[in-house]
Amino acid sequence: MFRITLTTELARHIGSQVEIALDDRLIEGILLSASLDLVVVSDSSGYNPGVEVNIHTEFINSVRFTQVA
């Protein structure tokens, strides 16, 4: 149930700047897509900005939408 609610809300924000918290890292970037099992973010931090990161929804602890300054 929670995954359906999460991905429905994420789908409304495709193209937005997000921070997604996992157990071991924080992923910052542009939300590219969201499906029931997978969220794709274009990573804007780290050594390889612009790399697409695939995140399984069961590993997401929190999501924060941010605004680019």
pTM of the model: 0.87
Q: Is the pLDDT reported for residue 69 higher than 60?
A: no
pLDDT tens column, 23-68: 999 999 999 999 999 999 999 877 777 799 999 999 999 999 988 6
Buried b (16+ CB within 10 A) or exposed e, 27-61: bbbbbeebeeeebbbebeeeeeeeeebebebeebe
Structural contact between residues 21 and 28, judged by C-beta atoms closer than 8 angstroms: no
Report the pLDDT value the prediction gives residue 44, as an integer from 0 to 100: 85
Report the pLDDT value the prediction gives residue 68, as an integer from 0 to 100: 62
The CATH T-level fold of domain 2-66 is: SH3 type barrels. (2.30.30)
Q: Is the pLDDT reported for residue 1 higher than 70?
A: no
Identify the residue whose tokens are 């969220």: 39
